[in-house]
Amino acid sequence: MSVASSHHLRPSPAGPARRPGCAAAAPRVALRPGASHPLRSGRAVVAAAAAAASSGGDAAAAAAAAPAPAVVNPAPAARDQVRRHTISVFVGDESGMINRIAGVFARRGYNIESLAVGLNKDKALFTIVVSGTDKVLRQVIEQLNKLVNVLSVEDLSKEPQVERELMLIKLNVEPDQRPEVMVLVDIFRAKVVDISENTLTMEVTGDPGKIVAVQRNLSKFGIKEICRTGKIALRREKIGATARFWGFSAASYPDLIESLPKNPLTSVNRTVNGSFDEPSTAGGDVYPVEPYESLSTNQVLDAHWGVLDDDDSSGLRSHTLSILVNDCPGVLNIVTGVFARRGYNIQSLAVGRAEKEGISRITTVVPGTDESIEKLVQQLYKLIDVHEVHDITHLPFAERELMLIKVSVNTAARRDILDIAEIFRAKPVDVSDHTVTLQLTGDLDKMVALQRLLEPYGICEVARTGRVALVRESGVDSKYLRGYSLPL
């Protein structure tokens, strides 16, 4: 029951004059229906009854002066706090799917902070970062699950996770400033991908905090361009039979079951983040996990991505577009709506903050001919929130993608996988007794080659960003230096 506030209390019209000798009555106030007087307490009730009895009134008058016991108002419920959420959406890839997912957030006024989309021929994995309350985010997840061809939606925010971002940053660096910049490159474990007379382009991979630190330390040199992917994340795998992918790994490596403690009733499995899981009460080889058959292989982005590299007989090829837009709610839905209405199936998409405050950069890859893409660029320029659109396909540019891949292992396979990772310069970022999670940056061919080598070991999860690209100021086109691309 809510308490009537001061602006709800007003004096009632004056009543008839009281007779001499009668006790002075308290001023009458008009209350809302069901509201209680904020100043009347148990002590005031007793005082009113005593005053009525001492003035010559009878017991009935004293009883009449005592109202019903005061009702204690419950404390107001605490409001949900706004916090950052990481949402993973796994869908069947089809034309217009990105626009429909972005529309769910736009209609509710959510500004997507970052978006990374890993695509192949028939599936896509969205990793979306937004800020909001838990209650509203649950409603958004319910709406996403109602979309056709959405396979699963998960909020990874409350679970231990491996999170990574990729950034290409181009600096205005004079020759005498390069030694100082190279020191920072070594400190942050970055890589130089292009260098010219007055510019230097580097690649940085890490968690969001590292990306912000790099940007702040390099801002004094003068940042010319920034191209960032959205954040991607995978859960940190627990240790023991209660882990999510234990059944998947045990089906591939039966010796994992033999290595478990013999008495599961007295053993406690310790997770990677330091918490404890309750021991299993099942005996024998029965564990409370999902059966291997329920883990569909369709839940993994395989390495067969349908990305075009060279022109075919009709002139169709993949075009890389760099779009600068205002950082405001709904802008991604508006931009992707232009692609959807013209039937373009986006092959890659990465959204992140640009070098200017309030501006975001969208890097997308779409198939088409030069004439059709030129018309598409003209349509994008008509949008109010779009500042610049560049088709950098025919220019020398540095391109990078980021991938997190979780592979099932046993003791022997772990050593083999780490050797393969060293060849590809991939870094292990999480390990358990039955999985290894690797982080890899590079171009498309490098991603395909590593994932195909790891497929025989059993791939549990894959999270990918889209392509990010910046024009090479040096003018060197590394595509012709690498030779022919890997056939898909």
What is the widest separation between alpha-carbon atoms in the chain?
112
- 292 token code pair: 């291997």
Q: Using the structure block, give the residue that is written with the tokens 């019903």.
A: 68
The Cβ of residue 26 has, within 10 Å, a number of other Cβ atoms equal to: 13
| pTM for this model (two decimals) | 0.72
Residues 387, 326 contacting (CB under 8 angstroms): yes
- 141 token code pair: 């997840």
Find, among 289, 234, 235, the residue nearest to 257 by Cα: 289
Residues 322, 386 contacting (CB under 8 angstroms): no
Alpha-carbon distance 287 to 265, whole Å? Answer: 12
Q: Using the structure block, give the residue that is written with the tokens 């925010």.
A: 157
9 CB burial (10 A radius; 0-12, 13-18, 19+) = middle
Residue 278: phi and psi, rounded to 5, are -70, 140
pLDDT tens, residue order, the chain (488 aa):
444 444 444 444 444 444 444 444 444 444 444 444 444 444 444 444 444 444 444 444 444 444 555 555 555 555 668 888 899 888 886 777 888 888 888 888 888 888 888 877 678 888 888 888 888 888 889 999 988 888 889 888 888 889 999 999 999 998 899 999 999 999 999 999 999 989 999 999 999 899 999 999 999 999 999 999 888 999 898 888 888 888 888 888 887 776 665 554 333 343 333 333 443 333 333 333 333 333 343 456 655 544 545 555 567 888 999 999 998 888 988 999 999 888 887 888 899 889 888 899 999 988 888 899 999 999 999 999 999 999 999 888 999 999 999 999 988 889 999 999 999 999 999 999 899 999 999 988 898 899 899 999 989 989 888 889 999 988 887 766 555 444 44
The amino acid that residue 157 corresponds to is S
Alpha-carbon distance 119 to 128, whole Å? Answer: 14
- 480 token code pair: 């012709």
